[in-house]
Amino acid sequence: MALGSLEVELRLFGVDNLKAKRRILQGLLARLRQSYRVAAAEVDRQDDLRRASLEMACVAADGGQVRRVLDQVLRSIEGHGELEVLEHRLELW
């Protein structure tokens, strides 16, 4: 069994209050959980309107599958129009 985590730092566009930030992030996190069956949460920068830190975790039978799933998650986040990925870090165990 293998475990992996993906940490992503984001810049959000067009956000002028915390309610708008939550709308964007909650929709994104729900979609990632449902589509890729990962655990996903906002882990830092909750009070910063323009930035967000997300972390996703995945468990699978082998490391290759974990990497494929987390790579797909990252591509999905990068394709989201209301934000930009500033940096990311993928770890496998």
Q: What would the 3-class secondary structure string for 24-43 be?
A: HHHHHHHHHHHHHCCEEEEE
Q: What is the mean pLDDT of residues 12-33?
A: 94
Specify the pLDDT at position 43. Answer: 96
- 28 pLDDT band (50/70/90 cuts)? very high
Q: Is residue 67 within 8 Å of 1, Cβ to Cβ? A: no
CATH superfamily label, 2-92: TT1725-like (3.30.70.1120)
Q: Quote the CA–CA distance of 37 and 93 in Å, as a whole number.
A: 18
| CA 20, chain centre distance (Å) | 17
Specify the pLDDT at position 72. Answer: 97
Q: What is the mean pLDDT of residues 20-33?
A: 95
Work out the end-to-end distance of the chain between its first and last CA atoms, rounded to an integer number of angstroms. Answer: 9
Specify the pLDDT at position 81. Answer: 85
